[in-house]
Homo-oligomer: A and B are copies of this chain.
Amino acid sequence: MPVPAPNLYPAFNTIRLSHVELHVTDLDASRAFYVDMLGLQVTHQDSEMLTLRAMEERGHHCLVLRRADAPAATAVVFKVWSEADLDHAADWLARQGRPVSWVDRPFQGRTLASSDPHGLPIEFYHEMERLPPIHQQYALYHGVRPLRIDHFNCFSPDVDASVAFWNDMGFRVTEYTEDAETKKLWAAWMHRKGGVHDMAFTNGLGPRLHHIAFWTAHPMNIIDLLDLMSTTGYVGSIERGPGRHGISNAFFLYIRDPDGHRTEIYASDYQTVDPDHEPIHWDLKDPQRQTLWGAPAPRSWFEEGTLFTGLAPQPSRLAAQPIVAP
């Protein structure tokens, strides 16, 4: 079994992914992309920062866009069950030799900053400002009608090592791609909240952020988005899809924001709450793992990603992937 047994009693209880902060070079262009076109809702804006939420979210934000000189991501952020879980997390991370600090973040309570063994910056909090429900204010829905943030996906230079660490933190593997010859993991999807993933790792120069993903209710929303993007100046921002993933079984589309940050629109994976839920194995040579319908991903999708601030990515320890792409 190439993936570790799940840790059903981790040292602290992470509920779900929460949000990411992205550095963007033009807040107006980013707002046009994420708000006017994609359909996220603005929950705060000042001259330096824009915070957004999707339609069914009650937490203050799922995306922070901060004005900067160069595109980057600062950290992937998770919500934990309680304030006590934050302390348990700090203890556990320190015991693993990871750096631990407490940081101030707007609209949040106490926030713990740390990183995984490759230096991927991660933050945890319990309390965030709560907002009233808007999921039945249908006049607000537009664009792809995004409902909630669904997951992060990061490049890792050593997916086996990443999975080992995140598994210890209680993230459970739902699907994985293995190189049949080397028995090394090529990619893995790991969850806390009961879907296919909160966090995925894919082999490559890393840590880098490959993409964030938003959940929408059904594929027609993605088709509507494609029509909209194609006729409002965003045709060049469509990178891959639409299609059905073999892995996760979700209907997907990948788009790139004005700074190149990648967003996936994602519809309908499946429920994974059982502790005895069995991971699904995929062979690296099976092209249907990526797109069930067989269409290859473009080269950019395999190679490009967002750097984390202050972190130099390391080359993958594996040979280059057999890309079957244009």
Query: Which of the residues B56, B226, B270 comes within 8 Å of A293, measured between beta carbons?
Result: B226
Q: Looking at the complex, which one of B81, B138, B277 makes contact with A8 (CB distance below 8 Å)?
A: B81
Q: Which residue of B lies closest to A80 (CB)?
A: B275
Q: Does A294 belong to the interface (CB within 8 Å)?
A: yes
B residues in contact with A15, CB < 8 Å: 273-275
Output the least CB separation between A65 and chain B (Å).
22
On whether the beta carbons of A137 and B274 are closer than 8 Å, the reply is no
| Contact across chains for B273 and A138 when beta carbons are under 8 A apart | no
**Quick one: given A56-B270, A194-B273, A326-B326, are A138 and B293 in contact (CB under 8 Å)?**
no
Contact A294 B235 (CB under 8 A): yes
Give every chain B residue within 8 A of A79 (Cβ-Cβ).
274
Give Cα A288–Cα B135 distance, bound, in whole angstroms.
15
B130, B193, B278: the one contacting A276 at CB < 8 Å is: B130
Q: Report yes or no: A136 in contact with B249, Cβ–Cβ below 8 A.
A: yes
Contact with B along A97-138 (1 / 0, CB 8 A): 000000000000000000000000000000100100101111
Among A182-190, A212-220, A312-320, the stretch that binds chain B is A212-220
Please give, as numbers and ranges, the residues of chain B lying within 8 Å of A8 by CB-CB distance. Answer: 81-82
A93 interfacial contact with B, CB 8 Å:
no
Q: How far is the CA of A295 from the CA of B230 in the complex (A)?
A: 11
Known: A82-B8, A147-B270, A270-B56. A232 touches B275 (CB 8 A): no
A226, B241: Cα distance in complex, Å: 13
- The closest CB in chain B to the CB of A147 belongs to B270
Q: Are A288 and B230 in contact (CB under 8 A)?
A: yes
Cβ–Cβ contact A193 & B228, under 8 A: no
Give 21 pairs: A residue, B residue, CB < 8 Å, sorted on A. A16-B274, A56-B270, A58-B274, A58-B277, A79-B274, A130-B278, A135-B270, A136-B231, A138-B228, A139-B228, A139-B232, A141-B227, A148-B270, A217-B268, A219-B220, A223-B251, A226-B292, A230-B293, A235-B292, A235-B294, A296-B326
> Does A58 contact B278, Cβ atoms closer than 8 Å?
yes
Binary contact track A135-167/B, C-beta < 8 Å → 1, others 0: 111110110000110000000000000000000
CB within 8 Å of B: which of A68-90? 79, 81-82
